Structure 1
Amino acid sequence: MERSFVESVGMQDIIIIKACSLAMEAHNSAAPNFLLDKIHNSSHAIFAFPGSWSTDDWVSRKPFGASKIDQTLFPSLRSVGKGDTAIVNDSFLGQFKIYLSDSNLQQEVRKAMAENKHIVFTGHSSGGPIAILATIWLLEHCKQNQNSQCTTSCVTFGSPLIGDRVFGHALRREHWSHHFIHFVNRYDIVPRVSLAPLSSMEREFPLILCFFNPKSCYHRQEIVGRSQESAGFFGSVMRNAASVTSHAACLSMESTNPLLESVIRFVELSPYTPFGTYIFCTGSGKMVTVINPDAVLQMFFHCLQLSPEEDITDVAYKSLQEHLLYEFTMQGNLERQTVVYLDNLDQIPVTANSVDNDEKRLTNIALDELGLSTRARICLQAAGVLQKQKAQNQAKIESNFSKIEEGLSMLERYRTTCEVLEIGYYDAFKFQRKHDDFNANVKRLELAGMWDEIIEMLWKYNLPDDFEARKQCVELGTKYRRLVEPLDIANYYRHNKNDDTGPYMVKGRPGRYKYTQKWLEYERGTAAGTCSESCFWAEVEELCADGDNKRSFEEVAERVLRLENKLGQWLSRGDIGRDVYLEESTFVKWWTTLPEQHKAGSSIRALVDKEGRNLPSLI
């Protein structure tokens, strides 16, 4: 199906051209302040950030200047279940914080929001990462303040990479990735710079930044004349890009070669990866649009491979020069509107012989103009296959959802049967006196296998990025955790595993419950640990063990009060079953051993007391 370029990127040509013009103006001004343009008779407000030309403003420390993102400023930039925090270039993060500390930026953004403007953040070169962080900051603000009405986009030109795989994963999970559009000229070296460690280009990099600095004391021709430095810089970046992309290609193709892991023990690879929509400009007026981040990474390397007739000195100069030509490129490309969309990567033509229609013919020409060899195209196909495999993994999991629901229904019937017999299903399962208890254990193990498979895929990032945020997954995971984790806890203490391994919550809790708990907490926007109702019995068992070990009430009083308060909250929300108050439950038996003075003033006394218990009718 044909589509316009505007439909693809979600931004009008005139806005892109204006953003590019303003980004280059900010670049050439070399001023420390952003530029703002509220286009006349337009609903857009464009904020353009200038670049910086000090080495420390690009890489503050060896090897890659990477650090964990500030979670107070960007709480969404993490993986949910696994708990990894996104890695970001801390030099760019530090510069953004300087802008944010100046009330002028926040004031102008608030004013644009009040005017219902579509806010566009833009930047050329190292101004690009600042624009990216500003966009995420505004998206975070809108997420936390649901009453805030704002629309925002980010468009960069020749921007270096800024974040790691978790960074991009989080943006895709939040469905924010489409807000980011990155234009890259084929030969521009700057988008590849972050793939090389500072140590590999430490001598040449300051000189290269002088070339880009419009206020440099060096004349550009003087810098270009030092061909040894420019060629050395180009070669260093591309050698490191080769290591990163080769490793990524091996992972995409699921290589089992043990040398793969051995190499990365000795060679530290760049953590940075692409995200968002990338638009590669071929140099002849065509634009190639790519969303798959693994494919973009491969193109970073393969688009800059030298042909036999090319001289490295000439290409090195061209790689610097093209970084400054975006305004000219945008005018020509957007006038022609010749766009190739690499959506179905597994179907791109590997050679001219595989071209069998007009669409593939145009794609083949564009890929030729980007210098993509047969090997490069195979790498792109592998990235597409990996993306499809993730979708297939999700489809396989979703096909098991009905089986999971059936298993949970069986365990719900088991719980109801136990309540009719006036013994909670936790205690019935723990003592294993009936055949139904055995059947429940079999079903528990079956469900554990299904969920462990899901967690394994999430651990390896082998599922679509938004899987953990899908409402169906959160609801099913919560239902599973609340119903089945008490059985795991009962099994753990039934076999006295706490004596050998330690408390369940410290050493024994499986990842399938940790992950699903974090999903719910993330959906609700609550702090870690606030949805721990399924761990209630583990806390009870540890308090029972403390009593058996003759610990005084004063030593555990704080934990007892905390448990009682949480129990009241969980019960009022329906997060926990009322069977915990049955007379024969482990909880009631333990609670009745507490000092009379404490029980008399307890917030749950009326619920526990035999005469005052407010249990629903079981008939």
Structure 2
Amino acid sequence: MQIDNSKPLIITGNSLGGSVATLFTISLLEKFNFSNTKRPLCITFGSPLIGDEGLQETISKYAAWNSCFLHVVSDQDPVPKVLINGYKPFGTFLLCSELGCSCLEDPQTILELLMAAYIGSPENQDPHKIFESYGTFVEHLNRKVLCKDTTDHESSIDWTTTPLRAGIITKLAAIGLVRSQPLQNVDINIIIAKTEKGEKKMAILNKQAFDPTRGLNEIKVYMAYLEQYKKLSKDRGIGYYDRYKLENRIGMTTTDMDLLKFKKSLTCYWEEMVDQAEKRPQTVGHSLRTRSLFGGTNYRRMIEPLDIAEYYNKGLKDYINNGRSKQYIQLEQWLKETEKPSSIPNELKKQNVVSSLTEDSCFWAHVEEALISCKLLSSEESSDEEKDSAKKELVEFEKYVFDLMKNYAVSSEIFLPGSSFMKWWGEYREITGASYSSSLTNLLKNDNNYKAYANGSLEFPLNFV
């Protein structure tokens, strides 16, 4: 089954059919990844509650899932109150009466109002008439953007009433709970107080649930340590990727234990950040605030090379398809959705290339795969088919590196003597021979180009040949 992203997917049902629609929508959310496609919208009319507190908490925890459910309930419909004991609501509820409608999200408040709204409703209602009333509600909603408050609840509001309480009273009036004649066994003041308490609790939880900037200053301290590690590695002529790869292979020294601790803390932070951002309903490209996305991009470009080093130290292959963590993939995707690609490097990138991080955080995985291809070409045990494939991959790698260099998108540290990239270049130069010529190899054969690139003054041919 495939989801057509060109049209909105709306699942709907009335009464027990609404329960089926809800369960079907939950199954869709479980089976399909809607991070890059439109999520389904489930609209039910007079549906009974389904699921216990466990299901309600699970779905409410994922705000993106919770936002997929809209339950329309009439004050004359007895079905939604059939399964109230032991069952918990989730999603958004639109409670309707002949006076108007109120929109609610707090589960406990919804339960309280469902009970209160139906205490005074007549029994033995004609189900067909109730079903027709939902059409009337939808018609009214479609016609009216602004609704004049015509309900009789002025006595409940005076100049001392807070805006929150006044709004709650207006909501309750719209579903017939604030009337000149009190409902039997219903204390409206208790209802108002409970609703106000629930609204405040909901606001606090929403505020606390996802704050992308919380902890960002502490994370900056960890990143500063990594920057220092990177600088000291460069002074050794090896680069931080290859230094970490070597130290990881032989076992970290005591002085580098902080590096592992900070690396782990950074990863835990951004794993949680990405997970929380995915749970919230967001427009494409706005899953993280700009400040957080900038921090996430720096984290990805600094830390992912270290994960790549660990991966290839284990003798594994094809990191990009088999070893890449979810947070790196998602952070890169969000950056692509917000960043406008440019084929021409700006002057600032040229000036900062000596200290900048490589834009493609998988660069070193490409280098490792290129080294593997060189081994295949050099090995007498490789078949002709394997050698042909390796040649094609190496030409693609050449073009990939040339495009990065042309856009000043790769750090000048790749030209350090102890770099894995320079190791690849030495092996590749020996394999291809002095007569081989291409845009990249012609640049790499001249050592002066390394300094020119670091200074931002290297001139590139227009196209790769």
Length-normalised TM-score, structure 1 = 0.48
Superposed displacement of residue 485, structure 1:
0.9
- Separation (CA, whole Å) in 2 of partners of 1:307 and 1:458: 41
Q: Please state if 1:370 is matched with 2:179.
A: no
Once the two structures are overlaid, the 10-residue window that deviates more, 568-577 or 485-494, is: 568-577
Aligned twin of 1:578: 412
Other structure's SS at 2:98 match: coil
Q: Please state if 1:478 is matched with 2:297.
A: yes
Long gaps (5+) in structure 1 = 1-66, 75-86, 92-124, 126-159, 177-189, 194-236, 255-268, 341-351
Contact 2:263 2:303 in 1 (8 A): yes
Change (3 A) 1:69 1:333: closer
Q: Please state if 1:318 is matched with 2:146.
A: no
Contact 2:43 2:70 in 1 (8 A): no
Amino acid at match of 2:261: V
Contact 2:239 2:419 in 1 (8 A): yes
Change (3 A) 1:462 1:362: closer
- What percentage of residue pairs aligned between the two structures are identical? 18
Superposed displacement of residue 456, structure 1:
3.7
| Post-superposition CA distance 1:511-565 (Å, at most 9, x none) | 2211211111121377xxxx98111111222332344453454221222222222
Aligned twin of 2:245: 430
Q: Please state if 1:505 is matched with 2:320.
A: yes
Amino acid at match of 1:545: I
Aligned twin of 1:243: 50
Superposed displacement of residue 588, structure 1:
1.6
The counterpart of 1:401, out of the listed 212, 216, 221, is 216
Other structure's SS at 2:69 match: coil
Aligned twin of 1:24: none
- Separation (CA, whole Å) in 2 of partners of 1:489 and 1:587: 14
- Separation (CA, whole Å) in 1 of partners of 2:131 and 2:116: 9
Aligned twin of 2:260: 441
Superposed displacement of residue 600, structure 1:
3.0
Change (3 A) 1:601 1:559: same
The counterpart of 1:192, out of the listed 15, 27, 44, is 44
Contact 2:373 2:394 in 1 (8 A): no
- Separation (CA, whole Å) in 1 of partners of 2:434 and 2:336: 32
Aligned twin of 2:362: 535
| Post-superposition CA distance 1:92-122 (Å, at most 9, x none) | xxxxxxxxxxxxxxxxxxxxxxxxxxxxxxx
Q: Please state if 1:602 is matched with 2:429.
A: no
Superposed displacement of residue 303, structure 1:
8.5
Other structure's SS at 2:9 match: strand
| Post-superposition CA distance 1:240-287 (Å, at most 9, x none) | xx1169666444787xxxxxxxxxxxxxx9995249999765423x55
- Separation (CA, whole Å) in 2 of partners of 1:272 and 1:393: 18
Q: Please state if 1:454 is matched with 2:273.
A: yes
Q: Please state if 1:89 is matched with 2:89.
A: no
- Separation (CA, whole Å) in 2 of partners of 1:385 and 1:274: 21
Other structure's SS at 2:409 match: coil
Contact 1:302 1:371 in 2 (8 A): no
- Separation (CA, whole Å) in 1 of partners of 2:401 and 2:56: 51
Amino acid at match of 2:418: E
Amino acid at match of 2:69: T
Superposed displacement of residue 393, structure 1:
3.7
Amino acid at match of 1:609: K
Amino acid at match of 1:243: I
Kindly tell me the number of residue pairs found equivalent between the two proteins: 371
Larger gyration radius, structure 1 or structure 2:
2
- Separation (CA, whole Å) in 2 of partners of 1:249 and 1:277: 12
Long gaps (5+) in structure 2 = 15-20, 72-90, 178-185, 342-357, 456-465
Other structure's SS at 1:399 match: coil
Give the aligned CA root-mean-square deviation in angstroms: 5.3
- Separation (CA, whole Å) in 1 of partners of 2:320 and 2:145: 59
**Where do 1:167-178 residues align within 5 Å?**
none
Amino acid at match of 2:50: S
Change (3 A) 1:598 1:533: farther
**Where do 1:148-163 residues align within 5 Å?**
none
Change (3 A) 1:192 1:89: closer
- Separation (CA, whole Å) in 1 of partners of 2:10 and 2:372: 48
- Separation (CA, whole Å) in 1 of partners of 2:25 and 2:146: 29
**Where do 1:321-332 residues align within 5 Å?**
321-324=133-136
| Post-superposition CA distance 1:425-482 (Å, at most 9, x none) | 11111112877655433332221222223234345x1698786242112211111111
Amino acid at match of 1:583: P
Q: Please state if 1:70 is matched with 2:15.
A: no
